[in-house]
A and B are shown apart, each in its own frame.
Chain A
Amino acid sequence: MDGHVVLAEGLEKRYGEKRALDGFDLAVRPGAVHGLLGPNGAGKTTAVRILSTLLRLDAGRATVAGLDVARQPREVRTRIGLTGQYAAVDEILTGRQNLEMFGRLFHLGRKRARLRAAQLLRQFDLEAAADKGAGGYSGGMRRRLDLAASMILAPAVLFLDEPTTGLDPRGRGEVWQAVRQLVADGTTVLLTTQYLEEADKLASRITVIDQGRAIVDDTPDGLKNRVGGDRIEVVLRERDHVPYALQAVARVAHGQPEADMAELRVHAPVADRVGSLTEVARFLHEFGIPVEDIGLRRPSLDDVFLRLTGRRTEEEPTPDQAQDTKGAAA
């Protein structure tokens, strides 16, 4: 296994003319969360589906827990858990019935399936709702049930495909907590996400994927440093004030300040978040410069992208996702 639980080399997957994966490489070390970060349509789901034996690959080689996904799919399936983009649980059955059904289908036998279900309900804090229909669960609870179902065999690798998309902040927090717990217990997690913040919070290593190819593999800090970390941003009312703002921002900047004359926006990377905000606000106030907006901005996936590829992420986010991004940046 050369120390990697997931190893992918030159994965290719075509849909007609479209290359969903185009020479994708990935190496995941055991015992941590590995983030797979990329915009809509980058190929994250395709990669996860190939690694979890749901899709056949056109070219390349991939092993999970040392087993070849193309040649030993059945064996691979005993070592993995999968939580896809939807919470794949039976909504008519109760939480307990769901876990017992999946346990039996994992070939635990009836008695052990029952024991394991009870154990997982406790672990994922679902005991109170265990005997209620999963259709009535909140988004976060359903996700946790979904995670619990993926953990029945205590798999070597857990694939999580955008586990928090569509969840409110509370549900998102619950899922993050559950994932941290799993990792503490020794599971390796491959997490796909569109949010840098999520990858930052959970992952110890991040691979950025774009157009079916891994473009960077780095630690969250390394990645943020490439992008320049947090930025201070001042939006002005008048064009003439831009030089003053540049001067104010330069005093605290941790890099080159930049001005966007069309939007009257001045921004620069900073190290001391609150300190620089206070400093710039005080400076502008003293010079009597009216400000439309001032604030700190975390680098978004968009910034990472712009920096790494020189272009913006292509697809327009849907209103729902736009809201999520805002929520994640707040």
Chain B
Amino acid sequence: MSAQAADGTGRTYRRRPRHGRLFWTVADCWNVVRRGLTHYRRQPVSILWQLAFPILSVLLYGYVFGKAMQVPGGGDYKTFLMPGMFVMTVTMGFISTATIFVHDSKKGVIDRFRSMPMAPSAVVAGRGATDMIVSCAELGIMMGTAYGMGWRPDGGIPFVKAVALLLALRFALIWVGVWLGLMLPSPEQAGGLFAIVFPLTMISSIYVSPQQMPHWLGQVALWNPLSSTASATRALFGAPTGTGTSWPEQHALLLAGVWPAALTLMFLPLAVRRFQKLSR
């Protein structure tokens, strides 16, 4: 590829191929990220829409049901609930990953990207990077809201660790989102993902401790990846964690690392394979 090459029509086009492939892959990623962030710049309210559900949950469970909700072993329910809401926030985020991917693939935007001389990997990687940035902002807003409601977590290293675990879960869910986005037959179905996410968050330790559920449901909730992150971050933020003595509760910190790693190991190759399959 030369800087100026004649095409079939005898005209010239001017690209800047002076840099190597790695440079352009990073540059392409960044431009895909820019696009994603511009979406939020043009529609800033959309971020609030995405946070509406966790925020309403805090109000509903924290204030309306607040007195009725019990933490086994005692402790303030609102303090118990907040880390759960952060888990909820990162979990809901994957719906937006899937939504934009299903839109882009069905409306031909991904085809356009793939017909261009950009790095194909940047389409997926750029999306993932955008989602991580947006998730940081969402967590920031949620924590600010929680602080406003009187939430006072332990600071220092444990706090940083807790945030890292939340982001690790979000990172794993990016690949689930990309994979689902490429699987769904139409953009309308993306809204239906809420129907999957909602029970997933209910049957976990996000709202109540699994001990308080019927036995079999409690077992499902115990092994729910969301429960591990919720329990682990509770411990790190210094919130009451309930009195669970089961193995997954005793090893929440370990599982909060293992689950996202396992999900990533499983869904990242699936998502990449699905993306490559587009050319078959």
* A-B interaction: yes
| Contacting pair A105 B116 (CB below 8 A) | yes
| Contacting pair A107 B115 (CB below 8 A) | no
| Contacting pair A78 B117 (CB below 8 A) | yes
A42 CB, nearest partner CB in chain B, Å: 20
Give the segment of A49-57, A221-229, A293-301, A322-330 that binds chain B. Answer: A49-57
B247 CB, nearest partner CB in chain A, Å: 46
B19 CB, nearest partner CB in chain A, Å: 9
Question: A101-B35, A154-B13 are contacts. A56–B280 as well, Cβ < 8 Å?
Answer: yes
Q: Which residue in chain B gives the minimum CB-CB distance to A106?
A: B116
**B11 at the binding interface (Cβ < 8 Å):** yes
Give the segment of B36-44, B72-80, B82-90 that binds chain A. Answer: B36-44
**Inter-chain contacts of B17 with A (CB < 8 A):** 107
**B112 at the binding interface (Cβ < 8 Å):** yes
A82's contact among B14, B27, B112, B118, by CB below 8 Å, is which? B112
A235 CB, nearest partner CB in chain B, Å: 42
B7 CB, nearest partner CB in chain A, Å: 4
| Contacting pair B118 A105 (CB below 8 A) | yes
B15's contact among A91, A92, A102, A153, by CB below 8 Å, is which? A153
| Contacting pair A109 B16 (CB below 8 A) | yes
| Contacting pair A102 B112 (CB below 8 A) | yes
| Contacting pair A77 B117 (CB below 8 A) | yes
Question: A87-B108, A92-B43 are contacts. A102–B8 as well, Cβ < 8 Å?
Answer: no
A287 CB, nearest partner CB in chain B, Å: 57
| Contacting pair A54 B108 (CB below 8 A) | no
Q: Could you tell me the dominant secondary structure of chain A's interface residues?
A: loop
**A171 at the binding interface (Cβ < 8 Å):** no
**Which residues from 145 to 169 on chain A have a C-beta closer than 8 Å to any C-beta of chain B?**
149, 153-157
**Inter-chain contacts of A79 with B (CB < 8 A):** 7-8
A86's contact among B9, B38, B43, B107, by CB below 8 Å, is which? B107
Whole-angstrom CA separation of A181 from B169 in the bound complex: 52
Question: A107-B24, A108-B15 are contacts. A157–B1 as well, Cβ < 8 Å?
Answer: no
Question: A31-B9, A79-B7, A79-B8 are contacts. A104–B31 as well, Cβ < 8 Å?
Answer: yes
Whole-angstrom CA separation of A93 from B1 in the bound complex: 31
Q: Interface size of A by Cβ–Cβ distance < 8 Å?
A: 50
A268 CB, nearest partner CB in chain B, Å: 44
Whole-angstrom CA separation of A45 from B38 in the bound complex: 32
A84's contact among B28, B38, B108, by CB below 8 Å, is which? B108
Whole-angstrom CA separation of A49 from B114 in the bound complex: 11
**A97 at the binding interface (Cβ < 8 Å):** yes
Whole-angstrom CA separation of A240 from B1 in the bound complex: 73
Question: A55-B280, A56-B279, A93-B35 are contacts. A5–B28 as well, Cβ < 8 Å?
Answer: no
**A276 at the binding interface (Cβ < 8 Å):** no
Question: A82-B112, A106-B117 are contacts. A156–B15 as well, Cβ < 8 Å?
Answer: no
Q: Which residue in chain A gives the minimum CB-CB distance to B10?
A: A186
The proximity string for B residues 106-143 relative to A, scoring 1 for CB distances below 8 Å and 0 otherwise, is: 11110111111110000000000000000000000000
| Contacting pair B8 A157 (CB below 8 A) | yes
Q: A101-B35, A108-B15, A108-B16 are in contact. List 8 more A-B contacts (CB 8 A).
A: A56-B279, A80-B115, A88-B109, A92-B38, A92-B42, A93-B35, A104-B27, A105-B113
Interface residues of B (CB under 8 A from A): 1, 5, 7-11, 13-17, 24, 27-28, 31-32, 34-35, 38-39, 42-43, 106-109, 111-118, 278-280
Complex A-B, nearest 8 residue pairs according to Cβ-Cβ distance, in ascending order: A88-B108, A156-B7, A156-B8, A86-B108, A88-B112, A186-B9, A5-B8, A82-B115
